Amino acid sequence: MLGLRAVNRSATDLPDGERTSLPAPKAPRGLVEIDGGARLSPLQWVERRMLSRPLIGPLAVLVIALIVFSIVSPNFGTLQNFSLILQQVQVIALLGIAQTLIILTAGIDLSVAAVMLLAQVVMGKLAVTLGLPVEFALLLGVLVGVICGAINGLIVTKLNIPPFIATLGTLSIFYALNIFISDGESVPYAEVPALLTWLGTGFQVFGTTFTYGQVLTILMFVLFAYILRSTAWGTHIYAVGDNLEAARLSGIRVNRVLMSVYIVAGLIIGVTAWLLIGRIGSISPTAGASYNLASITAVVIGGTSLFGGRGRIMGTLLGAVIVGVFSSGLSLAGFDNLWQEFTIGILIIGAVAVDQRLRKIGR
Amino acid sequence: MLLGLSGCGTQASSNGEPLVGLVIKTQDNPFYVKMTEGAEDEAKNLGFNLQVASGDGQSDVDSQIKAIENFTAQGAKAILVTPAGDGIIPAVKKAQAAGIVVFAMDSPLGSESGIDGTFATDNQLAGQLVGEWAKAALGDTEPRIATLDLSTDQIPVDVARNQGFLEGFGIDTGDPTKMWDESDPRLIGHEVTDANEAGGRTGMEKLLQKDPTINLVYTINEPTAAGAYQAVTAAGLEGQITIVSVDGGCPGVMNVQEGIIAATSMQFPLEMSKQALQAVKAYLDDGSKPANSDGLDFTNTGVTLVTDQPQDGVESEDTAFGLEQCWG
């Protein structure tokens, strides 16, 4: 496995090839010859490229979808519609950053949307019902996200409960708290302070509206793509996800890495709560409750492996946008809503099938 | 999610008060929270021992079946249930066979259910009222209509409100048990929304992308309408588009006051639980069962159009009334 990965690197000479796990030994030089000497079929060639550049798959799907839908519907291929699609998926995409970090550690977080709802309901409760300064309410709401993330992290690292079960439990707990604090009621638009909806406002470029929320989303992706690629913390996340034992043996404090990942994920989710308020204008305890699975969908379609250790932050952005493009494109082409869900299902299975295939040849 | 149900069959009541079980759909909707509060007050008045159980969502049939079975085992005298689906009918029949009177609230069960009575909003009428209002409000303007519905599943409440709206507006509904089979060119399109703000906004954005000349939008409920309004303002079309809705929640009525929603049909969850418990009392006293409202197979607990732009020939109340009467 390690040998072939290394071969792949040197053969294609790509420094941004798939991350090898930290304790990876240097590849024996001789292996290069074997690979270089063998003839690759076109399929094998594509697979090798996808192994070294995991964004190729989702990017190809996106480009093809954009072309097809632009031909089918005249209203589709406009800057205005592309801006709209990004607005429609931005909340899922931002949750997807948190989800990607956790999935890269071979974990999963079923509670992301529940944490988001709880954080925004706390923001609303503090700012509107209790009349606290809105900046303070915003910060405390984000802090709720951090605390929820820390709770998830503690359950995973201290109680040694698998992330799936841990976050299945906290999904119920955080959602119940959300309903308890909000009484199940929305705060209507007119009562929400302007700062909380600020990310929904925006500016005009070429006659198209872009929102500050979109800008924030893009900046967060750039930031975390950089962090994962260029910091020790990023390298440790891949190492822990690729092989926990190997990471431990090589001196990485595994639990500390896991804990930090859940806390940072909580921070991102807290910020996403602010984004959600901007998006829908009011503070609702139920809007976006389905985003737990939607965020996982974005990560998977973006090519990140559910088994940990392989994937890209930018893939998740592509994954979320792909879902938005199919949803918008199929709707404009006159397909009924249920065919949107049908198509997303096919995309998920296709993405995981590709991942399985790549894992196999990666060995 | 089941509250205080142990399922042991001996505690028939506390203080000798007859046990009445209330099974709601979900606690994350103020509609059911308000309904529960109304039931608790009325149960105190009538001397019932009321216990409440909740499912875990709009269509969580399984939890409701368990709750009905538990109340049956506990020796309840009556069960009030807001059916999450026809899947609960066998459990209802078993309860009835054990001598328990069972009433449905909020949504009717299938016609063969043999339920002892139903207390619900006439959702068809609720839709019809906003349809009639919209027809009058639009006047001579050529209508360009879109609907923001709940889901693709053709759920009864979704269908009744949608078809009622179209009928009220004077559009041929085709098969009145099916949404979206209409061929009227004034109908531009529809999207499903999960009946929340996020779905309402995205759905409205898609509809406007399809056709920016839309000028009338029916929404399944007020949170959906609030989301749709965000899309409308983002597109700068506030002056062009009229949004109507159904529900009567307090945030919704406030949005009517703000002009975000033009008109909404208010329903009365407090009345549902109050009337249902009074019917339980009557049944336990002399065995009489509630009578259905004229032309309906259930007892209509009332629906009132709330708007600050009254139209000739359409009865309505203003938002001052609405804010007094609203739930949640």
Any idea what the CATH number is for the domain that residue A212 is in?
1.10.3470
Q: Per the CB < 8 Å rule, is B196 touching A184?
A: no
Confidence of residue A23 (pLDDT cuts 50, 70, 90): very low
Q: How far is B154 from chain A (nearest CA, A)?
A: 12
B6: pLDDT strictly greater than 80: no
Q: How does pLDDT run across A128-180, given as a tens digit for each residue? A: 999 999 999 999 999 999 999 999 999 999 999 999 999 999 999 999 999 89
Contacts of B258 in chain A (CB under 8 A): 188-190
Q: Per the CB < 8 Å rule, is B209 touching A337?
A: no
Torsion sign over Cα A119, A217, A134, A182:
negative
Residues with Cβ < 8 Å from B141, sequence gap 6 or more? B215
Domain final residue, candidates A17, A32, A53 = A53
Same domain flag for A182 and A33: no
DSSP alpha helix (H) spans, A231-253? 232-242, 244-249
Same domain flag for A48 and A151: no
- Please report where in the chains the tokens 């009392």 appear, as a residue: B281
Higher pLDDT, A227 or B61: A227
Residues of chain B with CATH 3.40.50.2300: 19-120+269-290, 123-267+303-325
Contact status, residue B108 vs residue B298, Cβ threshold 8 Å? yes
Contacts of B60 in chain A (CB under 8 A): none
Q: Per the CB < 8 Å rule, is B223 touching A287?
A: yes
Q: Which of A80, A178, A185 sits opposite B30 (nearest CB)?
A: A185
Q: Per the CB < 8 Å rule, is B258 touching A336?
A: no
Query: In the predicted model, what is the mean pLDDT of residues B110-127?
Result: 90
Q: Per the CB < 8 Å rule, is B223 touching A88?
A: no
| Single-letter code of the amino acid located at A332 | L
Q: Which of A80, A189, A285 sits opposite B226 (nearest CB)?
A: A189
Same domain flag for A95 and A240: yes
A219: pLDDT strictly greater than 60: yes
In the prediction, which pLDDT does A33 show? 41
B156: pLDDT strictly greater than 90: no
Same domain flag for A89 and A24: no
Q: Does B237 touch chain A (CB under 8 A)?
A: no
Q: Per the CB < 8 Å rule, is A328 touching B209?
A: yes
In the prediction, which pLDDT does A333 show? 86
Q: Does B209 touch chain A (CB under 8 A)?
A: yes
d(CA A264, CA A258): 10
d(CA B314, CA B310): 7
Name the residue in chain B with its Cα closest to that of A279: B198
pTM of the entire predicted model? 0.82
Same domain flag for A124 and A266: yes
Same domain flag for A294 and A229: yes
Strands of A140-293 (E only): list them. 202-205, 208-211
| Tokens representing residue A156 in the block | 């995973």
Same domain flag for A49 and A60: no
Same domain flag for A39 and A140: no
Q: How does pLDDT run across A37-87, given as a tens digit for each residue? A: 567 788 888 777 777 787 888 898 899 999 999 998 888 888 888 998 999
In the prediction, which pLDDT does A25 show? 43
Query: In the predicted model, what is the mean pLDDT of residues B162-179?
Result: 95
Our separate counts of H helices and E strands in chain B read 10, 12
d(CA B303, CA B316): 10
Higher pLDDT, A48 or B307: B307
Those residues of chain A whose CB sits closer than 8 Å to some CB in chain B are 75, 80-81, 84, 87-88, 91, 175, 178-179, 183-191, 200, 209, 276, 279-282, 284-290, 327-328, 331-332, 336-338
In the prediction, which pLDDT does A38 show? 62
Confidence of residue B86 (pLDDT cuts 50, 70, 90): confident
Q: Which of B180, B196, B249 sits opposite A287 (nearest CB)?
A: B196
- Please report where in the chains the tokens 């975000």 appear, as a residue: B260
Same domain flag for A251 and A102: yes
In the prediction, which pLDDT does A236 show? 96
d(CA A272, CA A274): 5
B317: pLDDT strictly greater than 80: yes
Q: Which of B196, B230, B250 sits opposite A281 (nearest CB)?
A: B230
Q: Which of A87, A190, A337 sits opposite B254 (nearest CB)?
A: A190
Higher pLDDT, B59 or B318: B318
Closest CA to A310 of A47, A51, A9: A51
The domain in which residue A188 lies consists of 55-362
Q: How does pLDDT run across A326-335, given as a tens digit for each residue? A: 998 998 888 8
Contacts of B230 in chain A (CB under 8 A): 189, 200, 279-281
Q: Does B205 touch chain A (CB under 8 A)?
A: yes
Residue A265 exposed, middle or buried by CB count within 10 Å (0-12, 13-18, 19+): buried
Which residues, in sequence order, are bridge partners of residue B145? B187, B216
d(CA A327, CA B122): 34
Q: Which of B152, B201, B251 sits opposite A338 (nearest CB)?
A: B152
Contacts of B192 in chain A (CB under 8 A): 337
Residues with Cβ < 8 Å from A274, sequence gap 6 or more? A120, A123, A138, A141, A142, A196, A199
Chosen for mutation from A181, A189, A204, A210 (greatest number of chain B CBs closer than 10 Å) is A189
d(CA B153, CA B135): 28
- The SS3 assignment for B91 reads helix
In the prediction, which pLDDT does A336 show? 78
In chain A, the percentage of residues whose pLDDT exceeds 70 is: 89
Average pLDDT, chain B: 90
B21: pLDDT strictly greater than 90: yes
Residue by residue, DSSP assigns B129-166 as HHHHHHHHHHTTSPP-EEEEES-TT--HHHHHHHHHHH
Q: Which of A84, A284, A331 sits opposite B223 (nearest CB)?
A: A284
Q: What is the CATH number of domain B19-120+269-290?
A: 3.40.50.2300
Q: Per the CB < 8 Å rule, is B210 touching A331?
A: yes
Same domain flag for A114 and A219: yes
Same domain flag for A162 and A31: no
Contacts of B252 in chain A (CB under 8 A): 188
In the prediction, which pLDDT does A358 show? 80
- Indicate the angle between helix axes A79-104 and A212-230, nearest 10 degrees: 40
Q: Per the CB < 8 Å rule, is A281 touching B198?
A: no
In the prediction, which pLDDT does A17 show? 41
In the prediction, which pLDDT does A19 show? 44
Q: Which of A183, A282, A328 sits opposite B197 (nearest CB)?
A: A282
Distances (CA, A) of B263 to A272, B132, B181, B255: 32, 11, 25, 9
In chain B, the percentage of residues whose pLDDT exceeds 90 is: 76
- The SS3 assignment for A13 reads coil
**Torsion of the alpha carbons at B93, B96, B102 and B108, rounded to the nearest 10:** 20
Higher pLDDT, A9 or A159: A159
Q: How does pLDDT run across B214-255, given as a tens digit for each residue? A: 999 999 999 999 999 999 999 999 999 999 999 999 999 999
Same domain flag for A45 and A62: no
B318: pLDDT strictly greater than 70: yes
Contact status, residue B264 vs residue B323, Cβ threshold 8 Å? no
Contacts of A282 in chain B (CB under 8 A): 197, 223, 226-227, 251
Q: How far is B121 from chain A (nearest CA, A)?
A: 21
Q: Per the CB < 8 Å rule, is B30 touching A188?
A: no
Backbone φ and ψ of A212, nearest 5°:
-60, -30
Q: How does pLDDT run across A238-281, given as a tens digit for each residue? A: 999 999 999 999 999 999 999 999 999 999 999 999 999 999 98
In the prediction, which pLDDT does B15 show? 65
In the prediction, which pLDDT does A107 show? 96
Higher pLDDT, A344 or A10: A344
Class of domain B123-267+303-325: alpha beta
Q: How far is B265 from chain A (nearest CA, A)?
A: 18
Q: Which of A75, A179, A209 sits opposite B234 (nearest CB)?
A: A209
- Please report where in the chains the tokens 């071979």 appear, as a residue: A106
User: Domain tally for chain A?
Assistant: 2
Query: In the predicted model, what is the mean pLDDT of residues B43-49?
Result: 95
